[in-house]
Structure 1
Amino acid sequence: MKKNALIVDDDRILRHLIKKKFQAHASVFNTLLAADGVEAVQSLKDNAVSIVVTDLHMPNMDGFELLAHMSASYPDIPVIVLTAYSTPQSKQRVLDTGAAAFIEKPFVVEDLAERVITSLEKESEGGTLQTVSIDMFLQLVEMEQKTCTIRVINKDTGNQGVLFFKGGELLDARIRDMHGKQAAYEIFSWDSPSLSIQDTCVLNKKVIKEDLQAVLFDAMRLKDEAGQDESAFREAPPDAPQPVEEAAPQAAKVHAPAAPAQKKGIASTGADPAWDNLMSLTAILGANINAGNVKACYIDQGRENGLVLLPGDETTVVVLEKNCPGDVIRRLLYE
C-alpha cells in the first residue's frame, strides 16, 4: 500500500509545483496538501500520514506550532522543515523540536523527493511481514526485548496503526489521532495485517500501563464478544437445529454433528474455529512461562454446559452434560 506525504505551505504555487514534481514518484507515495497548520492537523486526523514537509512561517498555525503538536500526538512521523528565513538559532530550535531535517529555500524539488523516499524506507528497515499472526510476532518482540516501531496495515480495510516497543515493552499504540489501549485493541483485532518494522522507537514514556499479555487477552475477549453480539442478530435457517441451552451460545456454535454414541457425560463434539484465537494465546502464554504444550482447556460456565477445548487445525469443542462426572473431565484433560 502506498504511503502518504503531507506538504504544508501557504504558498499555493509552491505546493502545487511540489505535487506536480512528486508525480514522478506516485508509485511510491501519495502527495497530500495543506495551506497551514490547521489544515495539516485535520489532514493528520483524516489520513494515515507517513511524513510531513512543512514551512515555518504560515498564517493561522505556523510550523513551530505544528511541530509541537506533532511531537505530542504523532512523535513517530518524521518532519522535514522548509524555510526561507534561516538562522543558526531557528535551525537549532527546529531540530530541538523534533524535526528530522532542515532545508533552506530555494531548493531542488527532486532533492526533497529523495529525502522523502529515504525517510519512508526507514519505516521498513527491519523488514516487512505479509502473512503473520500479529499476536505471535509481538510475543517474539517481547521475548527478544526488541526496541522498534511497528507499522500495521489492515489489508481488509486499508486502516493503518503504529505500535511502539522499547526493550520488548509495549509503550503506546496509535491509529491516526487515537492513542493508548483503544488503539491497541483495534490493531490487535485486525484479521489480515501486514507489518513493517523500524528498528528504532522515539518514545520513552509508557502510555499503556498494562503488559502486552494483558492487552492481547483483553483485545481477543472484546473481539469475541463483538462477534457474539453480531451473531445474536443473525436469523437461523428454517431447518437449523436449536441450541440445547438458550443461554449457552458457544455450545450452539459447534458445527460438526454429534457422534452417534457419545461417551457418558458428553453432550456433543465438533470443530469450532471461533475458539482458535483463545487457543493460540493460551499456547503463547504456556510457552512464555515454560509450562509446555497446551493439551486441552476446560471452561466452567457455571450452571451452563461446561466446555473442553482441544487444540488442532481447528479447535475441537467438547460440550459436557450438566453434572458431568469429574473423571470424564479429567480423562479429556489429561489423556
Structure 2
Amino acid sequence: MKQVLIVDDEPALLLSIKSGFEGNGRLHILTAENGREALDMLDRNRLDLVVTDLRMPVMDGVQLLSVMSESFPEVPHIVMTAFGTPLLDKLLKKAGALDILEKPFDIEALEQAVCKALDAHEERRRSLSGLSLSSFLQMVAMEEKTVHVKVFHPSGRSGSLFFRQGELIDAEADQLAGDAAALEMLAWEDVRVSMKEFPAPAAGSRMQSELLPLLFKAAQREDERGGPEDDGSPLEAARQELARFGAEDEQAKAANNILTLTGGDMGIKELLKKMADEMDGVLAIQVTGMDGITLALHNPTGADVEAFSAKFAMVMKLVEKSVDSLKGLGELEENLVQAKNAWILTRLITPQYYIGIAVSREGTLGNVRLVGQRYLEQLRRLLVKPE
C-alpha cells in the first residue's frame, strides 16, 4: 500500500478524509495537524506522497515544503488551499507541486488527485531512473545507439531527439528544430522519456552542434538564469504571495471594523455591491427569504438569475431538513452546488433569510467564502434592524 500523509489544521477534515479513503485498498492514510508534526511523520515513515494545506499554526505548509525540498526531495507533494491565486498556483507548481486543490473539495476529487499524482510520480521515476535528461542523452551517445528519443514535459508539451550511431542528427520541439529545439528540451525539468529504434535516416542533419557542446551551452544558460534552486526560489515567492493575501484580508477586516465602530450604515443592496467588489468572479449576489422572495440583488454581469431565488430557497429548505434529521451535526450553515460553469454558494444569515452567491469557475472560491463570512454579521444586523 502507498502511504499518503494529509496535513491540515482542521481535525474534522482529517477525520473525514481518513474515513472517505477507507475503501481504497491501495492507500494507507496518515495525518498531521501542522508542518512540524508532518516532519516527524516523514522522519518515522517511508511516505509516498504528502498532501498539505498552506495556512497552519506552528509550521505552515510553505515552511514544510521548503524543509522537504532539502531533507526529503524524493517525496512528491500536492497542495490544498482555500486561499489560492493564479500566481500562487504557478509558483507552487514551479516549486514541484504535482497538483493544487482548491478548498472546498469532495473526497472523491481528492482521491482521484492522489492516485493521479502517485501514478505520475511512479512513471517519472521509471522513465529516467533518477537521471537528468542530459545524463540520459550522454548514455545514448556512449552506447552509439540509433534511436528516436521522445521527451515529455509535465505541461503536456513534447519534443524529439534523433540519434544515428550515437550522433545527435536532429531535434524537434514545438516550432523549433535543430540546436534551438535541443536547447529548449534540455531546459525542461521533471521530464519523462520514451525511446524506440527508427530506420536510419538520410545523411543530412539539421544540427549545427554536437551533443557535448549543446550540453555545455544548456548548463551555461541555467547558470545565467540562477538555476532551479536559486533563491529567488518559487517557495519564497509563494510565501510572499500568501502573506500579501493575508495582509489584504486583515486590511479588509480592519476597514469593516471601522465601519461598524463609526456606525456606518448602508442599505442591503449597497452592501451586496461592496461585497461583490471584494470578491473574485462573482456573477450575482442576493439576499433571499426562505419563502423565495428576493430582498436585494446585485447582478454585475447581467447573468440570468430569474429562477435562482425560488429554486434555491427550496434547495435550502431540503438541505436544512436533511441536516436536522442527522443528529449531532448541528444547524445548517452553508450549502455549495457545483455546476459546469459556476459554483452557487448559499449561506443562512438568519433562520428566515440566506445569501446566495453565483461564482464563475474561474473565480477564487476561497476568497468569496472569506469575504462572505466577514460581512455576515453586518447583513444580520440590517435584516433584524427595527423598522
Question: TM-score normalised to the size of structure 2?
Answer: 0.34
Question: TM-score normalised to the size of structure 1?
Answer: 0.38
